[in-house]
Structure 1
């Protein structure tokens, strides 16, 4: 498999995870979420879809670049991609916990674990491919913001 095929495979996978996560989110965005008290820094709802789309594309490119190094750094790439898969699963789980179960506290606990897995994935990716590491920085920053937002929503609505 060539580099471009690997990148496209992971980008499509990430976008699919994002799409299925959005299915859980949709009904709550229209019903439950508007009833919550939100902090003043809560972005408008229309911001989330384009931001997440770009983040999923960037993380897919990053993982594809790392996967492309499998022949020269087999063990490091294998470990990095395991962390990547775990963080991607946790990313999807957050939507289910927050919007599906309507449980901001459980989602808050989970997003801290997600952040740690993203950070560890970033560290592992950066050691294998610097560009892959750089591509993870906006994701890490956004989930940092999302963690503060999640905590604020929980606090304001407890």
Structure 2
């Protein structure tokens, strides 16, 4: 429970909001972007390190939850960090956009460029969060790692299916 406490308190309403925005947003985006796209995706050549499809919703729900907790922690701190929240919002928007580029529109090369920008934004967000709250910064590290892996996967799929 200490993870959720900031300055000895938990603001349940703000915590829920910070978690639900990425979780619900990611779920809706995934549902819309992947609608009728999975059959095409299954026909593409996959790299040997591509995880089974069932892994993705589990990983993303976990990551969206931890990034929501990280943002909550930053929001609750009294320190000023003018770059932290706009960077968070930008990376989340890029996250949602990537699904459309890669799955819905089949623009895998464009998605590769976009996920590279997204990874840079996530890394900067993690850094800015770290400046405000060390726990918030640490909560972003698995997200950085997963998106780095996703970038490699995006590259491999794009290369194999040019």
Which TM bucket (shorter chain)?
over 0.9
Structure having the larger proportion of residues in helix: 1
Instruction: Find the residue that maps to 2:131 and give its secondary structure.
Output: helix
Give the superposition deviation at 1:8. 1.2
Instruction: Find the residue that maps to 1:33 and give its secondary structure.
Output: helix
Give the superposition deviation at 1:73. 1.6
Contact kept? 1:3, 1:65, Cα under 8 Å:
no
Where do 1:1-158 residues align within 5 Å? 3-23=11-31, 24-29=33-38, 31-69=39-77, 72-74=78-80, 76=81, 78-158=82-162
Instruction: Report the Cα distance in structure 2 between the residues aligned to 1:132 and 1:26, rounded to whole angstroms.
Output: 33
What is the TM-score of this pair, normalised by structure 2? Answer: 0.91
Instruction: Report the Cα distance in structure 1 between the residues aligned to 2:36 and 2:146, rounded to whole angstroms.
Output: 23
Moved more, 54-63 or 15-24: 15-24
What is the TM-score of this pair, normalised by structure 1? Answer: 0.93
Segments ≥4 residues shifted beyond 6 Å? none
Instruction: Report the Cα distance in structure 2 between the residues aligned to 1:114 and 1:17, rounded to whole angstroms.
Output: 17
Instruction: Report the Cα distance in structure 1 between the residues aligned to 2:43 and 2:52, rounded to whole angstroms.
Output: 14
Give the superposition deviation at 1:6. 1.9
- Residues 81-101 of structure 1 deviation map (CA, whole Å, 9 limit, x = unaligned): 110000000000000100110
Structure 1 stretches of 5 or more lacking a match? Answer: none
Structure 2 stretches of 5 or more lacking a match? Answer: 1-9
Give the superposition deviation at 1:5. 2.3
Moved more, 16-25 or 116-125: 16-25
